[in-house]
């Protein structure tokens, strides 16, 4: 499907087969120079904007920081933060869980990037500047270049804030290199890793890029999904009862801990279903040279292919695929049990797209799910949230739909 976006024409992919031709590059090569241009003062050449061999090398370079063993270490930090947060929530007073989710995720992510003793100033700078910088990346990416250049004041502020953020994080990277010890966090893994195939290490600027990207890509989207998880639980009495029963059985009165994660089976399905219901609005890339769609798994019965020219904008919506009845029976019904092993045949695994597909699959997806599970278990082990407003409205100000607000009043949990 073709869609005119002002002066630019976009080609919309509507099936998982075609989307996979982008993710696995079977249709050709693709780039994200438009995204890079929108954020280049803050993130110059991170994983999300690199392409081809450079992208493959960078994925290998950051992989050690996100392996299961490392995530297990980060989970301990995330559990402590989640439990402290849940215990601090006030009783019988209106609280916006949407705002709470954002603050909790921001604190958790920054605390697992680098230690507080060396990174306090950088963490403060991230909390101060990152929300505004990220909002501007989205605006800048949506505007034509000619309009974007006219935003002189906003552009100047963006450049100044981005430079200050890079300076603060750069100081932490330098301190880690000087200390030469493993602090069991993301930065330690990035500083220490040597690519076995090339002998290459990440430079300071490359590490700064990846750390900023992890915050930019992880905080807003993870916080939005976390808030939607809570909304979906509170919206269905049967779902809420099962979540409470499982948390009671596994966690009890707390504190929540990483060893609880394997037994939170139903809650994990709730998270999976929330990721389906509230997947990313849109993802885009551009053709790096001519690309040809309709080969391999995406081939039609008549063998028709579609060639698109260099720099053609390719767009797809995980949200629309996740709500397509061709791939999900009763797609508008929130049904965590569709993810049970007994019903696995109902879902086309190619249509599971909350974290992207192929070379663009989010490398931090497992950690994001871990944080969400721990935060939700911590909340329900100590508090009983009751919604006091109407249903939240989804906004389009981020790549993932964000709930407008989630006002609740919190009561204590009662245990026998």
What beta strand segments (E) does 6-71 contain? 8-13, 30-31
CA–CA separation, 80 and 70 (whole Å): 16
Which residue is listed with tokens 């879902």? 347
User: Encoding tokens for residue 286?
Assistant: 């551009």
Measure the CA–CA gap between 47 and 200, rounded to whole angstroms.
16
**Closest C-alpha to 185, from 367, 12, 307, 310:** 367
Q: What is the Cβ-side half-sphere exposure of residue 345, based on CA atoms within 13 angstroms?
A: 1
Cβ distance 218 to 105 under 8 Å? yes
Q: What is the spatial distance between Cα 352 and Cα 107, in angstroms, rounded to a whole number?
A: 29
Tracing tokens 């904007």 back to the chain, one arrives at: 49
> Cβ atoms within 10 A of the Cβ of 410, count?
20
Half-sphere exposure of 377 (CA within 13 A, CB side): 33
Burial of 154 (0-12, 13-18, 19+ CB in 10 A): middle
Residue whose tokens read 């063993």: 69
Give me the pLDDT at residue 76, please.
95
* Whole-angstrom distance, CA of residue 331 vs CA of residue 344: 15
**pLDDT the model gives residue 301:** 56
- With a CB cutoff of 8 Å and minimum separation 6, the contacts of 356 are 23, 283, 318, 362
State the Cα–Cα distance between residues 151 and 75, nearest whole angstrom.
41
pTM of this structure: 0.92
Separation CA 176–CA 184 (nearest Å): 12
The answer to whether 407 and 385 have CB atoms below 8 angstroms apart is: no
Report helix, strand or coil for 107.
Answer: helix
Please tell me the distance from the alpha carbon of residue 286 to that of residue 310, in angstroms, as a whole number.
8
Polymer length in residues for the chain: 416
What pLDDT, on a 0 to 100 scale, did the predictor assign at position 416?
47
CATH 3.40.30.10 fits 32-282+317-408, yes or no: no
Compute the distance between CA of residue 295 and CA of residue 1 in angstroms, rounded to an integer: 17
Backbone angles phi, psi at 249, to 5 degrees: -70, -40
Tokens of 126: 């991230």
Contact by Cβ (8 Å): 18, 298: yes
Q: Which two tokens stand for residue 149?
A: 């250049």
pLDDT in tens, the chain (416 residues): 655 555 567 899 999 999 999 999 999 999 888 788 888 899 988 998 888 889 999 999 999 999 989 999 999 999 999 999 999 999 989 999 999 999 999 999 999 999 888 889 999 999 888 888 888 887 887 777 778 888 999 999 999 999 999 999 999 999 999 998 899 999 999 999 999 888 999 999 999 999 999 998 888 899 999 999 999 999 999 999 999 999 999 999 889 999 999 999 999 999 999 999 999 988 889 999 999 998 766 555 566 788 999 999 999 999 999 999 999 999 999 999 999 999 988 899 999 999 999 988 999 999 999 999 999 999 999 999 999 988 899 986 667 888 999 999 999 987 64
Task: Say how far apart CA 174 and CA 182 lie, in whole Å.
Answer: 14
């Amino acid at each position: 499907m073709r869609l005119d976006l002002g002066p630019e024409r976009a080609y919309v992919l509507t099936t998982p087969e075609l989307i996979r031709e982008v993710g696995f590059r079977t249709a050709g090569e693709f780039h994200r120079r438009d995204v890079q241009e929108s954020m280049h003062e803050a993130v110059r050449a991170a994983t999300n904007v690199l392409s081809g061999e450079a992208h493959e090398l960078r994925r290998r370079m950051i992989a050690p920081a996100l392996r299961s063993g490392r995530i297990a270490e980060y989970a301990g930090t995330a559990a402590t933060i989640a439990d402290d947060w849940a215990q601090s929530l006030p009783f019988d007073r209106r609280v916006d869980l949407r705002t709470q989710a954002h603050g909790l995720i921001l604190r958790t992510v920054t605390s697992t990037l680098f230690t507080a003793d060396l990174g306090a100033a950088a963490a403060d700078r991230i909390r101060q500047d990152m929300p505004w910088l990220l909002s501007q990346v989205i605006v800048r990416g949506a505007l034509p270049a000619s309009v974007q250049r006219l935003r002189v004041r906003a552009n100047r502020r963006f450049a100044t804030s981005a430079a200050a953020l890079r300076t603060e994080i750069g100081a932490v990277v330098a301190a880690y290199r000087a200390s030469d010890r493993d602090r069991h966090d993301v930065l330690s893994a990035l500083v220490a890793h040597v690519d076995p195939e090339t002998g290459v290490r990440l430079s300071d600027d490359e590490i700064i890029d990846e750390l900023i990207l992890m915050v930019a890509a992880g905080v807003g989207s993870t916080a939005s999904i976390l808030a939607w998880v809570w909304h979906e639980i509170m919206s269905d009495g049967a779902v809420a009862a099962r979540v409470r029963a499982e948390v009671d059985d596994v966690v009890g009165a707390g504190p929540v801990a990483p060893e609880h994660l394997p037994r939170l089976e139903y809650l994990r399905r709730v998270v999976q279903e929330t990721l389906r219901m509230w997947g990313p609005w849109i993802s885009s890339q551009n053709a790096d040279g001519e690309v040809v769609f309709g080969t391999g798994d995406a081939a039609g019965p008549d063998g028709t292919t579609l060639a698109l020219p260099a720099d053609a904008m390719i767009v797809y919506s995980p949200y629309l695929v996740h709500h397509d009845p061709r791939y999900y029976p009763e797609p508008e019904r929130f049904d965590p049990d569709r993810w049970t092993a007994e019903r696995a045949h109902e879902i086309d695994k190619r249509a599971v797209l909350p974290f992207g597909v192929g070379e663009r699959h989010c490398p931090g997806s497992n950690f994001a799910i871990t944080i969400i599970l721990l935060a939700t278990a911590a909340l329900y082990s100590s508090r009983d949230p009751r919604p006091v407003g109407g249903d939240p409205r989804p906004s389009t100000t981020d790549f993932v739909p964000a709930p407008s607000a989630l006002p609740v009043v919190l009561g204590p949990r009662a245990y026998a």
